Amino acid sequence: MVKFLCKLFVFTTMLLLLSIYVLPNKGLAKKPTTNSQNTQPYTLTIMHTNDSHARVEQRPRLATAVKEVRSQNPYSLLVDAGDVFYGTTYFDKYLGLADLWFMNNIHYDAMTFGNHEFDNGTGVLVNFVKEMTFPMVSANVNVSNDANLAPLFKNEISSNPVGGNIYPAIVKEVNGQKIGIIGLTTIYYSFPPIIFESPYTKASATVAALQQQGINKIIVISHLGITVDQKLATRVPGIDVIVGGHNHTAMPTPMVIANLEPTLIVQAGQYLQYLGLLNVTFDEKGVVTDQDGKLLKLSNYAQDPEAQAKVNEFKAGLYQ
């Protein structure tokens, strides 16, 4: 009888322990699994820029670097974390459209607003956005009361985004995998009637909406600054990569926020001195398992001939 009771106790204890490890923890936000038939690791290359501030003469070197990376890593994205506007006579003359010619030409996938995009009013900004051949992503910049930008805002997460429009988030398919891209901008500026909403609240809601679509690889393009980026990574589960801007930080390697599921933060300095490059590997559940990030110094790259010819055109027109 004693032996039976001992065996029963051991069996019951084993069941209890098993239940602790097997039963789901309802308090944790688990990522959805997409493409469950594919159990192989998935690696994505992300190229990124931020705070270029009208450094048009750096664009030909950037074009060369982007072409080289794409030749080696065809499954890639190219994104910008804002503040293309303001800083040189090229902006004074062309109001961002000179920079945009090069951004369109090398096929950026997405950009978010920096605070300086609003410096000259939305009458200037709307002309920039309309000429974009890629989407602007912005989940926390409420443009609904602005007569210029409101018509360009599409309140949807688009899998087929159209250039010249503003979306809270988009979905890009890269090598058979769907990648969610969200945009966020610093709230510490005032440009009425634009309303800058909480990045934490809007990010949380947008991440949840992407996850409801089965998206488990999520990038935030952030013009919040490195301190807020770190808070965002800890407060909002489900973000895999934060491509940062705003405080012009050159991060030679990614910062890893060790959440239950890790979040990487990268930023590429200022003035197109660098192209940021991140290779990030995900498991089948969309969890980051490996990464290799660095900054490519653009002074080490030759000027792309087509892009340099266009710079010469813009330069000739500066004082006309």
Q: Is residue 199 part of a domain?
A: yes
Q: Would you say the pTM of this structure is higher than 0.85?
A: yes
Q: Is residue 12 part of a domain?
A: no
Q: Domain residues for 223?
A: 30-316
Structure tokens at 81: 């974390």
Q: Is residue 20 part of a domain?
A: no
- Of the candidates 112, 97, 7, the one whose C-alpha atom is nearest the C-alpha of residue 59 is 97
Q: Is residue 56 part of a domain?
A: yes
Average pLDDT, the chain: 91
- Residue 317 per-residue DSSP state: T
Q: Are 177 and 44 in contact (CB under 8 A)?
A: yes
Q: What is the pLDDT of residue 8?
A: 34
Q: Is residue 77 part of a domain?
A: yes
Read off the pLDDT of residues 242-274 as tens digits, 9 standing for 90 and up.
999 999 999 999 999 998 899 999 999 999 999
Q: Is residue 6 part of a domain?
A: no
Structure tokens at 113: 């607003």
Percentage of the chain modeled with pLDDT above 90 = 86
* CATH value at residue 306: 3.60.21.10
Q: What is the mean pLDDT of residues 23-50?
A: 63
Q: Is residue 21 part of a domain?
A: no
Q: Are 301 and 60 in contact (CB under 8 A)?
A: no
- Of the candidates 320, 284, 277, 279, the one whose C-alpha atom is nearest the C-alpha of residue 298 is 277
Q: How far apart are CA 281 and CA 285, in angstroms?
A: 11
- How far is residue 83 from each of residues 23, 69, 87, 178, 272, measured CA to CA in Å? 47, 23, 10, 27, 11
Neighbours of 194 (CB within 10 A): 19
Return the SS3 of 142: strand
Q: What is the pLDDT of residue 302?
A: 99
Beta carbons within 8 Å of 82's beta carbon, 6+ residues apart: 50, 51, 111, 112, 113, 114, 115, 116, 117, 185, 221, 223, 245, 246
Q: Please, is 188 exposed, middle or buried when counting C-beta atoms within 10 Å of its C-beta (0-12, 13-18, 19+)?
A: exposed
Structure tokens at 300: 């080490």
- Residue 189 per-residue DSSP state: -
Does residue 21 surpass a pLDDT of 60? no
The structural domain count of the chain equals 1
Q: Is residue 7 part of a domain?
A: no
- Of the candidates 36, 26, 19, the one whose C-alpha atom is nearest the C-alpha of residue 177 is 36
Q: Tokens 């790259």 appear where?
A: 301
Does residue 215 surpass a pLDDT of 70? yes
Does residue 41 surpass a pLDDT of 80? yes
pLDDT band at residue 32 under the 50/70/90 scheme: low
Q: Are 47 and 79 in contact (CB under 8 A)?
A: yes
Return the SS3 of 309: helix
pLDDT band at residue 38 under the 50/70/90 scheme: low
Q: What is the pLDDT of residue 259?
A: 86
Read off the pLDDT of residues 103-157 as tens digits, 9 standing for 90 and up.
999 999 999 999 999 999 999 999 999 999 999 999 999 999 999 999 999 999 9
Q: Residues, the chain, total?
A: 320
Q: What is the pLDDT of residue 35?
A: 44
- Higher model confidence: residue 197 or residue 20? 197
